[in-house]
Structure formats: structure tokens, C-alpha cells
Amino acid sequence: MFRPDDDPVLIEMLAALERSPEVLALRVRVIQLQVERGLFTEALAQCGAALTQEPGNAQVLGLLRQCTIALGSGGRPVRLPPAEPDLGDYDFWAAAEQQVGDIVAPAFPDAGPAEFATDGDAGTVERSTVRLADVGGMAEVKRQLELALLGPLRNPALAQAFGTSARGGLLLYGPPGCGKTFLAAAVAGELGANFYPIEIADILDIYTGASERNLHGVFEVARRNAPCVLFLDELDALGHRRSQMSGSSTMRTVVNQLLTELDSATADNSGVYVLGATNHPWDVDVALRRPGRFDRMVLVGLPDTAARAAILSYHLRGRPVAGIDPAEVARRTEGLSGADLAHVCTSATQLAMADSLRTGAVRPVARSDLEVALAEVRPSAAAWFEAARNVVEFANGDGTYDELARYMKARRQH
């Protein structure tokens, strides 16, 4: 009989999940490992947590169904029957608009891209079409990106005269759901470079040595497609501090491989601009933040008023809307992340849809729907700020998080 404590890979993955419970891709990978090992009860619990994070996730629903069937058969492997139609991703509004498009017109049809716009499947090299101008608000973040990366790349002679360069990587950090991925895509667009987004699930593998080979392969693809912005999401899960990896060499070797790929002495990364993103920079191995690696950090905080208005417009685009002013709503949503605002728009749309189904008359999303949705949402970044406050107060002796300290002080004053 398989015992979980005999599997170092699963142990390490569970430890990584405990450190970064908000990383859905990591939780899905844990569920897959548990299903492969016949740990259906444990996998079932993880499926519940995953669906709380992202209701209707097709991959998790498939794993949930597999666990349910396996447990119903006493844990024996079974042939899965044809799947029932999954209505989780069914766009009821789109279906309704096909029939009543001449009755209720969609609003904000020309709303441009905003944070959390989908930029393609992870692991696919693509040409970025977005620019920093497409990012609403966030003037300080844009200024720092220009200063730390874009300026030296656009003016190499001037950078050389001042003894600076854009070598090494740039680490975007901040609360979850605030647009770090979209900013990375915008940087690629500014540079006219390919964009290569990578998640932890694209690298980690259950077999010894496979994760290191996957990581090397990722960098090789980026080098072949230079100029290329290689974006490593959830860097803390991939490059966690080796001092905290209790005796297991499974993840330590992955961190070592990442250090090797970033080292200019062992690899030629000309034309490859490495950007990382993390919610917990204090958990990233210190060796990854040395010069030539991720030696520059940019704080991506909660969206400001202009950014919130852009996010609301983006997520209400193409939907029947009446009496909603995104700028006015944005002024009343201080403290909400982009992901929170996306959830508000989805909930308001569902309320209008439910009312339309109940009455038999299609009506647009109204301000009252947004009010109800806003009353139910709670800022998702609260836990992050608690952790960040401890770091600023007790772990900032070298000044690494001075920018974060100033940001949190400014938040308290408002």
C-alpha cells in the first residue's frame, strides 16, 4: 500500500503548497500526484480548496470526478464514462445576446486591455501586442520599469556612460491579483520582444531530474526566440529558500539549476530578459537576488483609482450595462485588487442574468447589481499585508523592503 510519507516529491510539493496556498497551478499539481498514487480522499479535499479559488475550473472538475468515481468503486481504477456537459464555462450572456442583441446593446465595446486580460496559454512563445500605455494608472510602477529596465535597453550608450546596464533579472512583487503578468507582457511589447510566460506546473515533474531538464529547456526556448521576455510566475514556489527545504534535495536541485541558467558565466542569455513575479519575495532564495540575477525589485501594489476604472471597464466590456460609471465606482473601491474587481463584475453580471431568467425579460447589468456584489466582496490582499507588515517591521535590516515600507506607510495615511 502506498504511503504518502514515503514519497519525497509529494512531501516537497505539499510543503511548497503550504508556503504558497494561493498558487492554483501548484495545488492542481498536488492533486494530480495524489490521484496518481491512489490518494483519492486527500485529492478530494484539495479539489474542494481549488474550486474555492477558481469555481468551474475544468481541469479540477475532471480530477474531482475521477476521485469521486474511484472512491465509489473502492479506490479501484475504473474507466470513466463520458463526461456530462460542463456548464461552468457556458456564457449565458453571449447566448442571450444572440437572441436579443437588438433589445439591449453591450456597453464599453471599445474598452482596451486592462490588468488580467488573457495573454495566451502559459508555456507558449508569443508576440506581445500590449504596451505600458495599455495599463491603466500605476504611474510609479511604469516609472520604475523605465528606470530599471526599459531606459538602459533603449539607450545603451547613455547607460554605459553612467556605468549602468539592464543585465540580470527583474522581480515584480506585491499582493496577489494585481496585474504582474500583464505588466510583464507590456514590457515585452515595449521591447518588441517575444513573450514567454512560464508557470510552476510547466517545470516541476514527479521524476528525478525531469524538473531540471524542463527548466533548462525553457531557457533554451527563450534563447532561440531572442529577443524574448521570459516570465517566471510564482518565483517563490520555484526558487524557494534552500535553507528551509528540510533535508530534501528534490527542490534544492531545481533552485541550483535556475541559478546556473541565470549565471552569465555558464549560459549566454543575450537578448533574453528574465522577469519574475512573486507574492512573497521574502521566501525567494537569497542567491537568486544577487547581482546579475533578480537583483532589482519593483513593487506592484494595489491598483490606483485610474487602474481600477480601467479594470472595471475591461471586465464589463461587451456586456449590457446601464447607469454604471466605472470612474465613479473606482473611487469607492479603494483596497480591492484587480482580481477582486473582476469578481465583482462577474457577480453583478450573474445577478442581472438570474433576474432576467426569473422574469423572462432580459435586462442590463445595473448599478444596483454592482452595489450588491461590492457589499459581498472582501479585500483578498488583507492576509498579504499582514505578512508584509511583519517583514517590514522585523526583517528589513538591510533596507531591501524600504519601498514596501514607504508604500504601507502611505496606505495607512489615507
- pLDDT tens per residue, range 319-366: 889 999 999 999 999 999 999 999 999 999 999 999 888 888 889 999
Which amino acid type is present at position 52? T
pLDDT digit string (tens) for 272-324? 999 999 999 998 888 888 877 888 899 999 999 999 999 999 999 888 899 99
> What whole-number distance in Å separates Cα of residue 21 and Cα of residue 26?
8
Q: Do domains 4-72 and 92-113+304-376 have the same CATH topology?
A: no
- In terms of pLDDT, which residue wins out, 241 or 50? 50
For the structural domain made of 4-72, what CATH number should be given?
1.25.40.10
**Is 99's pLDDT higher than 60?**
no
- In terms of pLDDT, which residue wins out, 71 or 243? 71
Q: How many CB atoms lie within 10 A of CB 111?
A: 17
pLDDT digit string (tens) for 133-186? 888 889 999 999 988 888 887 777 776 676 666 667 899 999 999 999 999 999
Give me the pLDDT at residue 105, please: 60
At 327, list the grid cell.
Answer: 470612474
Give me the pLDDT at residue 333, please: 95
For residue 329, CA distances in Å to 304, 312, 316, 334, 337 come to: 12, 8, 12, 10, 14
> What whole-number distance in Å separates Cα of residue 102 and Cα of residue 188?
40
- Which of the listed CATH numbers 3.40.50.720, 3.40.50.300, 3.90.740.10, 3.30.750.24 matches domain 126-302? 3.40.50.300
For residue 342, CA distances in Å to 66, 292, 370, 401 come to: 30, 36, 11, 29
- Which of the listed CATH numbers 1.10.8.60, 3.40.640.10, 3.90.1150.10, 3.40.50.150 matches domain 92-113+304-376? 1.10.8.60
User: Residues 27-30: contacts with CB within 8 Å, 24+ apart?
Assistant: 27/53, 28/57, 28/59, 28/60, 28/63, 28/201, 29/200, 29/201, 29/204
Quote the pTM value: 0.71
- Give the percent of the chain with pLDDT over 90: 37
Residues making up the chain, counted from first to last: 414
pLDDT band, very low/low/confident/very high, at 122 (cuts 50, 70, 90): very low
Query: pLDDT averaged over the chain?
Result: 81
- Lowest mean pLDDT across 19-28, 264-273, 379-388, 398-407: 264-273
**Is 266's pLDDT higher than 80?**
no
For residue 85, CA distances in Å to 81, 286, 346, 357 come to: 12, 48, 21, 20
Locate the domains of the chain by residue range. 4-72, 92-113+304-376, 126-302
pLDDT band, very low/low/confident/very high, at 387 (cuts 50, 70, 90): very high
pLDDT band, very low/low/confident/very high, at 262 (cuts 50, 70, 90): confident
